[in-house]
Chains A and B, each alone.
Chain A
């Protein structure tokens, strides 16, 4: 039998997805003939949960490859979030939220080996994610500014879990006494702003939060530097003020 080879894209149909056979093959391929189909390149569509997300071609390719890698492992819903999306250079690690019934502890290692990047993987079941989005300001801020491999509708309903908020307040409270590097103060000021917006029922906009922090902290710093006494006092004053505002709402 004569070998016929051509490449076509699968198109979406109302009941079935389909592949059209070009008319030029009419003599060889006719209705009723049995053919074999082989996948050559998987199409990955990216869904941006915030329209302002603009990432470089390199990052798009990396995200597509990561999604493909994880989809091949049977994971249906994946989100990429964090500094990778909003920092042009110098992102810390790739925050990946995986939604699947079971947590695969080996994934982190497999991803690191495959892509040579640092990963922070957070696993959720679909129910946990749904509940988490409702009660967890930090998860909400991550998902609001993320890229996903499939459509995802965010339920805007929110519920205040005081215990969870008080747990999240422990670190900023500790930073009033402990002396750590810059990044921890900055991250916790961001965390406090996120929680404040959540408790006020306002939209958590990570880009706005970043620009607010940039305006507040107007001195130069490296993430891992230890702040000076004056810088520390200044950041602790902000933390104290934000803690007070949040506690009033609890």
Chain B
């Protein structure tokens, strides 16, 4: 299986999942959004399935993290209804999710 394709697929899913997760924490009526915060989980679960298909080495993992950081930054930038606090949460959320997937 093509590792590069796998990395890109995982980055896309995690990026969207993290955007949902961060968004749910920062919108004004977050207590509402958090009740249904299943979207982030759905996307995370899909990413988990894809991760299991590959055996990533440390170079791949580094590449994945860098791509995820760049893509998530741009994704968050495009969502102007989520306040700027989103950029401060980004790093922590990335580390959390990559740890869960044993990718760091």
Contacts and interface: CB of A to CB of B under 8 A. Distances in A.
B13 interface: yes
Contacts of A139: 32, 35
Question: Interface size bucket, B side?
Answer: 20 to 34
A164 interface: yes
A161 B42 CA distance: 25
Interface residues of A, number: 24
B29 A170 contact: no
B33 interface: yes
Interface of A: 122-124, 128, 131-132, 135-136, 138-139, 161-164, 166-168, 170-171, 174, 177-178, 180, 184
Contact of A184 (B12, B33, B42, B79): B42
Interface of B is mostly: helix
A162 B20 CA distance: 16
Interface in B37-96: 39, 42-43, 46, 79, 81-82
Contacts of B42: 180, 184
- List 6 A-B pairs, minimum CB-CB distance, nearest first: A171-B39, A166-B81, A122-B35, A136-B32, A163-B81, A174-B16
A163 B28 contact: yes
Given A122-B35, A184-B42, A167 B16 contact: no
Contacts of B32: 128, 132, 135-136, 139, 161, 164
Contacts of B29: 131, 135-136, 161, 163-164
Most buried by A among B12, B31, B82: B31
A128 B33 CA distance: 12
A65 B36 CA distance: 25
Contact of A178 (B13, B23, B27, B36): B13
